[in-house]
């Protein structure tokens, strides 16, 4: 039995909506995680980063107010602190993230997730 496809989704984000629509067009009914209401823990984020092959800084939304408020542009801030900031302030997490078949992909552009399906 394969694990269900999961999407970390923000319905207010056009890329997230487009990625979800792309999955549904392919008759995939993913588990939808509204990560702003149910943010991933620091451990879950670390796991997602490993699946994505990304560093915490690469997954940060630098245009969010929290990025500046928390001083996250400071290069001396370590990965653990960045992950903790994303767990505490989920708006900082780039989206959407799709997990399928033991892999993850960032839906930017939405078609990028097709590689893991």
The catalytic residue positions are 13
The secondary structure of residue 34, as a DSSP letter, is: E
Which of 47, 27, 44, 26 minimizes the C-alpha distance to 35?
A: 44
Task: Classify residue 76 by burial, with Cβ atoms within 10 Å: 0-12, 13-18, 19+.
Answer: exposed
Which of 15, 40, 44, 20 minimizes the C-alpha distance to 32?
A: 20
């Amino acid at each position: 039995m394969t694990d269900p496809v999961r999407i970390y989704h923000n319905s207010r984000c056009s890329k997230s909506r487009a990625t979800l629509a792309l999955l549904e067009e392919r008759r995939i009914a993913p588990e939808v995680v509204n990560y702003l209401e149910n943010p991933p823990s620091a451990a879950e984020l670390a796991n997602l980063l490993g699946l994505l092959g990304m560093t915490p800084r690469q997954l940060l939304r630098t245009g969010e107010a929290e990025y500046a408020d928390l001083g996250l542009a400071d290069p001396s801030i370590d990965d653990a602190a960045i992950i903790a900031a994303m767990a505490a302030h989920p708006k900082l997490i780039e989206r959407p993230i799709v997990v399928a078949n033991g892999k993850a992909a960032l839906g930017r552009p939405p078609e990028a997730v097709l590689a893991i399906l």
